[in-house]
Amino acid sequence: MFAFANPHRFMAYSGPLVPWTGFLAALLFGVGLVWGLVFAPPDYQMGDTVRIMYIHVPAAWMAMAAYTFMASASLASFVWRHPLADIAARAAAPLGLGFNFLALVTGALWGQPMWGTFWVWDARLTSFLVLFFFYIGYIALWEAIEDPHKAGRAAAILAMVGFINVPIVKFSVDWWNTLHQPASLIKMGAPSIYWTILTPLLIMVAAYTMIFTFLLLLRMRTEVFTRRIHRLQSSLAAGTEEPALA
């Protein structure tokens, strides 16, 4: 982790990584979507509507994974004052929000033919909606405080406090009697999905992870460049020419 604490080294490593992750994301999406939406077998209960799972499930996982990433980066930023951690957390937040929104919408579209309703206030959906508001609050706090270092630390506290919701979302289908189906992959014992459906699902998970990494690196690099520009502008305005420290 601290190998990349130096922004220069981070920028040097991430530069060539960005086009590769983008290309990989496009490739994995192409393979996963075609396999899942066209070639994978229909479910014996749900028929062809199961195909929305290839979009809904990885999006929901990524929403949780992004928040976990945000909370870990916030911990690194708050406790160890890692220089790039608050930039990483801030970059991840809108991506997680987007995944959360996508999972909510695709879930509602799947729920209407399956359950007969777009929404139900069971434990899984409710806690996932609360995660949506945690994301919005986190982004709002970043926007509200002017000094980026103070904003980063305040947002780090908020992200760490909110992390308590992530295990609640994960285990909500086990702890409460929910309409949402229980865990079939990450649970005690082997996954209970047959490989013909599991494989395209895992490819889609890899695709979502790749696009998250691609967008994250892009956003982090943009933030580092933006801070350099601000520093150059302020040193120009002050009349001094200091070397940019990134």
Partner 1 sequence: MTDTKVLTAQSHAPRPPDPAPPSGSAGRAFRALVARDIKLAAAQGAGGLQVVVFFAVVVTLIPFGLGPDLPLLEAIAPGVLWIALILASLLTFDRLFQADFEDGSLDGMVCGPLSLEGIVFAKACAHWLTNALPLIVATPVLALLLNMKAGVLGLLLLTLLVGTPGLTLIGALGAGLSVGVRRAGILIALLVMPLYVPVLIFAVGALEQAQRSLAAGDGVNFLEPNALFLAAASLLAGLIGVWAGAAGLRLHVGG
The residues of the shown chain that bind partner 1, judged by CB under 8 A, are 126, 130-131, 133-134, 136-137, 140-141, 144-145, 150, 153-154, 157-158, 160-162, 165
| Nearest to partner 1 of 46, 139 (CB atom) | 139
CA–CA distance, 196 with 41 (Å, rounded to integer): 7
| Nearest to partner 1 of 13, 133 (CB atom) | 133
φ, ψ (nearest 5 deg) of residue 127: -65, -30
- On whether the CB atoms of residues 77 and 89 are closer than 8 A, the answer is yes
Least distance CB 48 / partner 1 (angstroms): 36
Least distance CB 57 / partner 1 (angstroms): 23
| Nearest to partner 1 of 60, 204 (CB atom) | 60
Least distance CB 236 / partner 1 (angstroms): 22
CA–CA distance, 86 with 93 (Å, rounded to integer): 11
- On whether the CB atoms of residues 104 and 149 are closer than 8 A, the answer is no
Least distance CB 148 / partner 1 (angstroms): 12
CA–CA distance, 217 with 10 (Å, rounded to integer): 10
| Nearest to partner 1 of 153, 227 (CB atom) | 153
Least distance CB 147 / partner 1 (angstroms): 8
CA-to-CA dists, residue 72 to 44, 128, 137, angstroms: 40, 19, 18
Least distance CB 105 / partner 1 (angstroms): 20
Reduced 3-state DSSP string for 53-81: HHHHHHHHHHHHHHHHHHHHHHHHHHHHC
| Nearest to partner 1 of 59, 156 (CB atom) | 156
DSSP string, 156-210: HHHHHHHTTHHHHHHHHHHHS--SS---SSSSSSS--S-HHHHHHHHHHHHHHHH
| Nearest to partner 1 of 26, 154 (CB atom) | 154
